[in-house]
Amino acid sequence: MAPVTTRVLRAISAVPFLLLAAWSFGVMDLDKMSSHTQPIAESGIIEWDGGKVDIIDHFYNVKVLDKIWRGGMATFSTSTFGYDSVAS
């Protein structure tokens, strides 16, 4: 087990990251995000002016995880593929 001083220093250095995470969760508009990405996730295709990508249906081969994957893929595709200038 690490000495007390080491554990205290680790805890202190983690505080900025915890504050940043709390602030990020506070400012996210999850309802707006899900209403924007739900049609993309349900269609299974991400389309923009420059191209088209199919969302993989069986990434994990576990139904619950695959459903989460589809939502995450639709949510983060705007910044990943760069078709939204604000997001990218």
pLDDT of 35 reads 86
pTM of the entire predicted model = 0.58
pLDDT digit string (tens) for 30-47? 888 888 888 888 888 888
**Per-residue pLDDT at 84:** 76
For 48-85, what is each residue's pLDDT tens digit? 888 888 888 888 889 899 888 888 888 888 888 888 77
Q: Cβ neighbours of residue 83 under 8 Å, at least 6 residues apart?
A: 48, 49, 50, 51, 77
Position 18 scores a pLDDT of: 97
Reading the block at residue 75, the tokens are 């949510």
Q: What is the pLDDT of residues 1-20, one digit of tens each?
A: 779 999 999 999 999 999 99
> Between vectors from CA 30 to CA 75 and to CA 52, what angle results, nearest 5°?
15
